[in-house]
Amino acid sequence: IIADLQAALPGDVVVSNPAGNTIRFLDDGAVGNSDIDAVSATITPSALTGAGTGLPLFTDGENGTVFSNSLDGIGQKTGFASRITVNPAVIADDTVLVSYDAGVPMGDTTRPLDLLARLTSNTRTYAPETGIGGSATPFNGTIDEFARRIVSFQSSQASNAERDAEAQQVVTSSLQDRFDAETGVNIDDEMSNLLLLQNAYSANARVISTIQELFTVLMSIGR
């Protein structure tokens, strides 16, 4: 994680691990190109109780670990949408949705209100790869707002795809009609041509028959 933090910060800031779980950030001092005024961190609780009002509500379905967006290795974020699972421990004991520490009465609203605030009040910035927002202006909002944007975006995409499919169908039908008109068989026209051919054959047959009768008469005169 030290290397990942170092890569995410300006080169004038040095990140180190002097001992144990300690992480040290040093700016460039008097040079003043990079100044560290404060450091904050969001800690993901791993226990159901005894760690404040936070709750590990979701786990990674692949290995059962609590989702913390860890930067170690390849990170947890990639592909998490297909692996997200409600913490089995919460399903097994839903009293932890209220009880965050020993002695907390079941009517206490502290944890439920905190969970609600995390969904509807706390804001965060979302990656533009989600399709919401751009690289220069990524979307910033609550989880509730982001979910609504996702539904609206997908609905718009589905409507556009449906209109494109309908337009394509119109073009395909038009081309098929033109193809049929050029290459297909018109029954009325073919029947008319057949009648003309039949009449012509009958007329020719009548001429041949008349000539034959004429030759017969001529031959009889010469006898």
The model's pLDDT over 138-197, given as tens digits with 9 standing for 90+, comes to 888 888 888 888 888 888 888 889 999 999 999 898 888 887 777 766 777 778 888 888
Q: E strands, the chain, where?
A: 14-16, 24-26, 58-60, 84-86, 124-125, 140-141
pLDDT in tens, 4-46: 788 878 888 888 988 887 888 888 877 777 888 877 777 778 8
Mean pLDDT over the full length of the chain? 82
Would the pLDDT of 68 be above 70? yes
In this prediction, residue 24 carries a pLDDT of 86
Would the pLDDT of 72 be above 70? no
pLDDT in tens, 84-103: 888 898 899 888 889 888 88
| Phi, psi torsion values for 221, nearest 5 degrees | -70, -40
Task: Find all residues with CB under 8 Å of 53, minimum gap 6, and list them.
Answer: 100, 110, 111, 114, 115
In this prediction, residue 184 carries a pLDDT of 67
Task: Find all residues with CB under 8 Å of 68, minimum gap 6, and list them.
Answer: 44, 76
Task: Find all residues with CB under 8 Å of 194, minimum gap 6, and list them.
Answer: none
* 3 state DSSP class of 109: coil
